[in-house]
Amino acid sequence: MKKGIALALILPFLTGCLFWGNEKKDNAQSPEKLYTTGEEALFNRKFGTAKERFKKLLEESPESEFSRTARLGLAEAYYRDGDYEEAAQAYTDYLNLHPLSPNSDYVQYKLGMCYYKLMLPPDRDQKYTRQAITAFEKLIRIYPTSPWAIRGAQMLKECKERLAFHDIYVGKFYYKVKEYKAAKLRFQHAFDQIKTGEAAAEALYWLGKTYQVLGKKEKAIECYQKVVKEYGMWGDVDKAEDALQELKSEKKKRKRFILF
């Protein structure tokens, strides 16, 4: 009788243990399953779920055949979710762990795009702009024939333009406080690193103004003439034309005064 009672009490416990064990086994997912569900979540823009699946795969099965693509999937999930700092780290990890991957050119491009997305306006710190420039330059240097290098070259131009506008912003500040030599260096650097587009035209115009106030009027005339001749589509080209005419008029007056 006692044995029957004891057995009746133990059986439910054993059944529960067996059920719990089966449930735990059922909840365990294979690397392939984790990757597949992560990929589906990424496709359906469920970025939180995608990140969760890919992270779990990398934590539980780092040597799995799916780990490389899961690492890239994790980086993509961060990027598409707008978390560019985490995405940059994930892309960097991928490149460090899989330098010979056939996707390396694409990943290098996306790393540059992470920093591009993080860039601040010209009047703010340009740390991310410089990091984007470094990433895109590396892409072009290592994978010159890649289609991603062509896209990277365009992004590189935009990054350098942003940096040039930053130099112009700082140069204008120095000009305002009459630190003209420091202003000249900033405007010259801005022009040297871009040489095309509005940033180049504006840098050259302000370089002319700085030379003018420093008394180097011939150099100022050279700057204004270059703006008028080579950057005629610049929105403020009329300012350069007016400054040029003013300096030329002064030059003529001095010649007349010397003759008389």
- The mean pLDDT value for 159-167 works out to 97
Q: Comparing C-alpha atoms, which of 180, 199, 183, 181 is closest to residue 191?
A: 199
Tell me if 94 sits within 8 A of 71, measured CB to CB.
yes
Rounded to the nearest 5 degrees, what angle is found at the Cα of 248, between the Cα atoms of 245 and 254? 140
Higher pLDDT, 256 or 18: 256
- Amino acid 150 reads I
pTM score, two decimals?
Answer: 0.83
Examine the pLDDT at 14 and tell me if it is beyond 70.
no
Greatest CA span in the chain, whole angstroms?
139
Q: Which residue has 């064990």 as its token pair?
A: 21
pLDDT winner (highest mean) among 5-14, 18-27, 234-243, 245-254: 234-243
Is the dihedral angle over the CA atoms 231, 236, 237, 240 positive or is it negative? negative
Average pLDDT over residues 75-90: 98
- Give the pLDDT band (50/70/90) at residue 243: very high
Predicted confidence band at 45 (pLDDT cuts at 50, 70, 90)?
Answer: very high
Burial of 179-193, coded b for 16+ CB within 10 Å and e otherwise, reads ebebbbbbbbbbbeb
Task: Report percent pLDDT > 70 for the chain.
Answer: 86
Q: What is the DSSP string of 60-118?
A: H-TTSTTHHHHHHHHHHHHHHTT-HHHHHHHHHHHHHH-TT-TTHHHHHHHHHHHHHHH
Closest CA to 172 of 205, 197, 144: 205
What's the pLDDT band for 108 if we cut at 50, 70, 90?
very high
In the block, residue with structure tokens 């978390």: 83
- Of 136, 129, 89, 92, which is closest to residue 112 (Cα–Cα)? 136
Q: Let me know: does 210 contact 180? Beta carbons within 8 Å.
A: yes
